[in-house]
Homo-oligomer: A and B are copies of this chain.
Amino acid sequence: MDNRPIGFLDSGVGGLTVVRELMRQLPHEEVVYIGDSARAPYGPRPAEQIKDYTWQLVNFLLTKDVKMIVFACNTATAVAWEEVKAKLDIPVLGVILPGASAAIKSSSSGQIGVIGTPMTIASDIYREKILALSPNMSVKSLACPKFVPIVESNQHLSSVAKKAVYESLAPFVGQVDTLVLGCTHYPLLRQIIQNVMGPKVKLIDSGAECVRDISVLLNYFQLNRSREFSDTRYQFYTTASSSSFKAIAEEWLSQSIQVEHVKL
Protein backbone atom coordinates (compact mmCIF):
# COMPACT_ATOMS: atom_id res chain seq x y z
CA MET A 1 0.00 0.00 0.00
CA ASP A 2 1.11 3.56 -0.71
CA ASN A 3 -1.23 6.43 0.02
CA ARG A 4 0.73 9.09 -1.88
CA PRO A 5 -0.81 10.74 -4.97
CA ILE A 6 -0.27 9.81 -8.61
CA GLY A 7 1.35 12.57 -10.69
CA PHE A 8 -0.03 13.52 -14.11
CA LEU A 9 1.65 15.80 -16.61
CA ASP A 10 0.39 17.30 -19.83
CA SER A 11 1.12 20.20 -22.13
CA GLY A 12 -2.20 21.68 -21.00
CA VAL A 13 -5.74 20.60 -20.19
CA GLY A 14 -5.89 17.51 -22.43
CA GLY A 15 -4.57 15.18 -19.74
CA LEU A 16 -7.72 15.92 -17.74
CA THR A 17 -9.40 13.32 -19.93
CA VAL A 18 -7.10 10.76 -18.31
CA VAL A 19 -7.80 12.12 -14.83
CA ARG A 20 -11.55 11.90 -15.45
CA GLU A 21 -11.14 8.25 -16.36
CA LEU A 22 -8.99 7.68 -13.26
CA MET A 23 -11.69 9.27 -11.06
CA ARG A 24 -14.18 6.83 -12.58
CA GLN A 25 -12.07 3.67 -12.37
CA LEU A 26 -10.01 4.38 -9.23
CA PRO A 27 -11.97 6.97 -7.24
CA HIS A 28 -9.85 6.50 -4.10
CA GLU A 29 -6.53 7.47 -5.71
CA GLU A 30 -5.22 11.00 -5.17
CA VAL A 31 -3.91 13.14 -8.02
CA VAL A 32 -1.39 15.89 -8.58
CA TYR A 33 -1.81 17.34 -12.07
CA ILE A 34 0.43 19.82 -13.84
CA GLY A 35 -0.63 21.32 -17.18
CA ASP A 36 1.83 23.46 -19.10
CA SER A 37 -0.84 25.54 -20.85
CA ALA A 38 1.45 28.57 -21.02
CA ARG A 39 3.61 26.68 -23.51
CA ALA A 40 0.94 24.52 -25.20
CA PRO A 41 0.71 23.14 -27.78
CA TYR A 42 3.87 21.02 -27.52
CA GLY A 43 3.16 19.37 -30.88
CA PRO A 44 4.90 21.86 -33.21
CA ARG A 45 7.97 22.37 -30.96
CA PRO A 46 11.40 20.79 -31.53
CA ALA A 47 12.02 17.51 -29.73
CA GLU A 48 14.82 18.85 -27.49
CA GLN A 49 12.59 21.62 -26.22
CA ILE A 50 9.71 19.22 -25.51
CA LYS A 51 12.13 16.97 -23.62
CA ASP A 52 13.36 19.94 -21.59
CA TYR A 53 9.81 21.07 -20.73
CA THR A 54 8.78 17.53 -19.86
CA TRP A 55 11.66 17.18 -17.39
CA GLN A 56 10.55 20.46 -15.77
CA LEU A 57 7.07 18.99 -15.30
CA VAL A 58 8.51 15.70 -13.98
CA ASN A 59 10.72 17.54 -11.49
CA PHE A 60 7.76 19.62 -10.32
CA LEU A 61 5.74 16.45 -9.69
CA LEU A 62 8.64 14.89 -7.78
CA THR A 63 8.54 17.84 -5.33
CA LYS A 64 4.94 16.76 -4.59
CA ASP A 65 6.07 13.29 -3.48
CA VAL A 66 4.15 11.31 -6.10
CA LYS A 67 4.34 7.50 -6.17
CA MET A 68 3.95 7.16 -9.96
CA ILE A 69 4.08 9.55 -12.92
CA VAL A 70 1.67 9.35 -15.84
CA PHE A 71 2.54 11.11 -19.09
CA ALA A 72 -1.02 12.15 -19.94
CA CYS A 73 0.33 13.63 -23.15
CA ASN A 74 1.15 11.74 -26.32
CA THR A 75 3.72 14.26 -27.51
CA ALA A 76 5.70 14.07 -24.27
CA THR A 77 5.39 10.27 -24.32
CA ALA A 78 6.70 10.07 -27.88
CA VAL A 79 9.70 12.25 -27.11
CA ALA A 80 10.67 11.69 -23.47
CA TRP A 81 8.90 8.69 -21.89
CA GLU A 82 11.67 6.13 -22.34
CA GLU A 83 14.35 8.48 -21.01
CA VAL A 84 12.36 9.54 -17.94
CA LYS A 85 11.21 5.97 -17.21
CA ALA A 86 14.83 4.78 -17.28
CA LYS A 87 16.03 7.50 -14.90
CA LEU A 88 13.36 7.48 -12.18
CA ASP A 89 12.89 4.82 -9.54
CA ILE A 90 9.11 5.18 -9.47
CA PRO A 91 6.91 3.76 -12.26
CA VAL A 92 6.43 6.07 -15.24
CA LEU A 93 3.59 5.37 -17.67
CA GLY A 94 2.92 6.75 -21.10
CA VAL A 95 -0.27 6.75 -23.13
CA ILE A 96 1.09 5.36 -26.39
CA LEU A 97 1.61 1.65 -25.70
CA PRO A 98 -1.79 1.18 -24.07
CA GLY A 99 -3.40 2.95 -27.05
CA ALA A 100 -1.44 0.97 -29.63
CA SER A 101 -2.22 -2.30 -27.92
CA ALA A 102 -5.95 -1.50 -27.68
CA ALA A 103 -6.08 -0.52 -31.36
CA ILE A 104 -4.65 -3.89 -32.41
CA LYS A 105 -7.22 -5.74 -30.31
CA SER A 106 -10.05 -3.56 -31.69
CA SER A 107 -9.33 -3.68 -35.42
CA SER A 108 -10.89 -6.51 -37.40
CA SER A 109 -9.97 -5.19 -40.86
CA GLY A 110 -6.39 -4.31 -39.86
CA GLN A 111 -6.95 -0.75 -41.13
CA ILE A 112 -6.05 1.57 -38.26
CA GLY A 113 -6.01 5.36 -38.30
CA VAL A 114 -4.00 7.48 -35.88
CA ILE A 115 -4.52 11.19 -35.30
CA GLY A 116 -2.27 13.34 -33.14
CA THR A 117 -0.22 16.49 -32.92
CA PRO A 118 2.38 17.21 -35.61
CA MET A 119 5.19 16.01 -33.31
CA THR A 120 3.46 12.76 -32.34
CA ILE A 121 2.66 11.99 -35.98
CA ALA A 122 6.15 13.00 -37.17
CA SER A 123 7.68 10.69 -34.56
CA ASP A 124 5.69 7.88 -36.20
CA ILE A 125 5.64 6.19 -32.83
CA TYR A 126 2.11 4.74 -33.03
CA ARG A 127 2.82 3.12 -36.39
CA GLU A 128 6.15 1.83 -35.08
CA LYS A 129 4.63 0.32 -31.92
CA ILE A 130 1.59 -1.12 -33.71
CA LEU A 131 3.69 -2.71 -36.46
CA ALA A 132 6.22 -4.06 -33.99
CA LEU A 133 3.41 -5.84 -32.17
CA SER A 134 1.46 -6.78 -35.27
CA PRO A 135 3.26 -6.36 -38.62
CA ASN A 136 0.22 -7.12 -40.77
CA MET A 137 -1.71 -4.05 -39.70
CA SER A 138 -2.00 -1.06 -42.02
CA VAL A 139 -1.56 2.20 -40.13
CA LYS A 140 -2.50 5.59 -41.58
CA SER A 141 -1.43 8.69 -39.66
CA LEU A 142 -2.71 12.24 -39.76
CA ALA A 143 -1.57 15.34 -37.91
CA CYS A 144 -4.42 17.55 -36.70
CA PRO A 145 -2.67 20.76 -35.60
CA LYS A 146 -5.91 22.71 -35.13
CA PHE A 147 -7.40 20.48 -32.44
CA VAL A 148 -5.29 21.32 -29.37
CA PRO A 149 -5.62 25.12 -29.70
CA ILE A 150 -9.40 24.66 -30.02
CA VAL A 151 -9.56 22.60 -26.83
CA GLU A 152 -7.14 24.81 -24.89
CA SER A 153 -9.30 27.84 -25.71
CA ASN A 154 -12.44 26.02 -24.49
CA GLN A 155 -14.01 26.02 -27.95
CA HIS A 156 -14.42 22.26 -28.25
CA LEU A 157 -18.21 22.46 -28.55
CA SER A 158 -18.22 25.34 -31.03
CA SER A 159 -18.95 25.42 -34.75
CA VAL A 160 -15.26 26.20 -35.24
CA ALA A 161 -14.49 22.80 -33.71
CA LYS A 162 -17.02 21.03 -35.94
CA LYS A 163 -15.61 22.64 -39.08
CA ALA A 164 -12.01 21.81 -38.11
CA VAL A 165 -12.83 18.17 -37.36
CA TYR A 166 -14.86 17.68 -40.57
CA GLU A 167 -12.12 19.16 -42.71
CA SER A 168 -9.22 17.45 -40.94
CA LEU A 169 -10.64 13.92 -40.87
CA ALA A 170 -12.00 13.87 -44.43
CA PRO A 171 -9.09 11.68 -45.72
CA PHE A 172 -9.90 8.97 -43.12
CA VAL A 173 -13.65 8.60 -43.61
CA GLY A 174 -14.44 5.09 -44.84
CA GLN A 175 -10.75 4.11 -44.76
CA VAL A 176 -10.28 2.67 -41.24
CA ASP A 177 -12.30 0.62 -38.73
CA THR A 178 -10.38 1.89 -35.70
CA LEU A 179 -9.19 5.41 -34.99
CA VAL A 180 -6.66 6.12 -32.24
CA LEU A 181 -7.18 9.48 -30.56
CA GLY A 182 -3.43 9.89 -30.21
CA CYS A 183 -3.64 13.06 -28.16
CA THR A 184 -5.27 13.36 -24.76
CA HIS A 185 -6.99 16.58 -25.81
CA TYR A 186 -9.01 14.81 -28.47
CA PRO A 187 -11.58 13.01 -26.27
CA LEU A 188 -13.07 16.46 -25.66
CA LEU A 189 -13.89 16.42 -29.39
CA ARG A 190 -15.02 12.79 -29.28
CA GLN A 191 -18.66 13.26 -30.23
CA ILE A 192 -17.79 15.38 -33.25
CA ILE A 193 -15.08 12.91 -34.31
CA GLN A 194 -17.51 9.98 -33.98
CA ASN A 195 -20.11 11.84 -36.07
CA VAL A 196 -17.57 12.49 -38.81
CA MET A 197 -16.12 8.97 -38.85
CA GLY A 198 -19.48 7.23 -38.56
CA PRO A 199 -20.90 5.00 -35.81
CA LYS A 200 -19.06 1.83 -36.87
CA VAL A 201 -15.56 3.20 -36.36
CA LYS A 202 -14.13 2.33 -32.95
CA LEU A 203 -12.43 5.29 -31.30
CA ILE A 204 -9.51 4.39 -29.04
CA ASP A 205 -9.03 6.83 -26.18
CA SER A 206 -5.37 6.37 -25.35
CA GLY A 207 -5.88 7.99 -21.94
CA ALA A 208 -8.71 5.68 -20.88
CA GLU A 209 -6.65 2.67 -21.97
CA CYS A 210 -3.78 4.04 -19.92
CA VAL A 211 -5.89 4.06 -16.73
CA ARG A 212 -6.44 0.32 -17.02
CA ASP A 213 -2.67 -0.02 -17.07
CA ILE A 214 -2.31 2.29 -14.06
CA SER A 215 -4.57 -0.05 -12.11
CA VAL A 216 -2.50 -3.11 -13.02
CA LEU A 217 0.80 -1.39 -12.22
CA LEU A 218 -0.50 -0.15 -8.86
CA ASN A 219 -1.20 -3.80 -8.08
CA TYR A 220 2.09 -5.09 -9.45
CA PHE A 221 4.22 -2.56 -7.59
CA GLN A 222 1.89 -2.72 -4.55
CA LEU A 223 1.24 1.01 -4.63
CA ASN A 224 -2.54 1.11 -4.18
CA ARG A 225 -4.06 3.70 -1.89
CA SER A 226 -6.39 2.25 0.70
CA ARG A 227 -10.09 2.68 -0.03
CA GLU A 228 -10.71 3.32 3.66
CA PHE A 229 -10.09 7.06 3.23
CA SER A 230 -13.33 8.83 2.55
CA ASP A 231 -11.48 11.95 1.48
CA THR A 232 -9.65 12.07 -1.85
CA ARG A 233 -7.57 15.12 -2.68
CA TYR A 234 -6.97 16.41 -6.19
CA GLN A 235 -4.34 19.08 -6.74
CA PHE A 236 -4.24 20.96 -10.04
CA TYR A 237 -1.46 23.23 -11.22
CA THR A 238 -1.12 25.20 -14.43
CA THR A 239 1.63 27.37 -15.87
CA ALA A 240 -0.98 29.68 -17.43
CA SER A 241 -4.14 31.35 -16.11
CA SER A 242 -5.71 29.34 -13.30
CA SER A 243 -9.17 30.71 -14.04
CA SER A 244 -9.33 29.47 -17.62
CA PHE A 245 -7.88 26.08 -16.59
CA LYS A 246 -10.48 25.92 -13.82
CA ALA A 247 -13.34 26.67 -16.21
CA ILE A 248 -12.53 23.85 -18.60
CA ALA A 249 -11.51 21.42 -15.84
CA GLU A 250 -14.70 21.91 -13.84
CA GLU A 251 -16.85 21.41 -16.90
CA TRP A 252 -14.95 18.31 -17.95
CA LEU A 253 -14.64 16.75 -14.48
CA SER A 254 -18.14 17.80 -13.36
CA GLN A 255 -16.92 19.01 -10.00
CA SER A 256 -15.59 22.11 -8.33
CA ILE A 257 -11.77 22.14 -8.02
CA GLN A 258 -8.95 24.36 -6.83
CA VAL A 259 -6.27 25.34 -9.35
CA GLU A 260 -2.97 26.97 -8.53
CA HIS A 261 -0.77 28.89 -10.93
CA VAL A 262 2.84 27.79 -10.91
CA LYS A 263 5.95 29.17 -12.60
CA LEU A 264 8.45 26.54 -13.77
Contact = CB atoms under 8 A, between A and B. Distances in A.
Contacts of A226: 132-133, 135
B136 A227 contact: yes
A1 interface: yes
A134 interface: yes
A187 interface: no
As for how many copies of this chain the complex holds, the number is 2
Interface residues of A, number: 23
Interface in A189-239: 212-213, 215-217, 219-220, 222, 224, 226-228
A102 to B, nearest CB: 10
Contacts of A101: 215, 219
Contacts of A91: 220
Nearest to A134: B227
A133 B213 contact: no
A78 to B, nearest CB: 15
Interface in A74-117: 91, 93, 97-98, 101
A237 to B, nearest CB: 26
A92 to B, nearest CB: 9
Interface of A: 1, 91, 93, 97-98, 101, 132-136, 212-213, 215-217, 219-220, 222, 224, 226-228
18 contacts: A1-B132, A93-B220, A97-B219, A97-B220, A97-B222, A98-B216, A98-B219, A101-B215, A101-B219, A132-B224, A134-B227, A135-B227, A135-B228, A136-B227, A213-B220, A216-B217, A217-B217, A217-B220
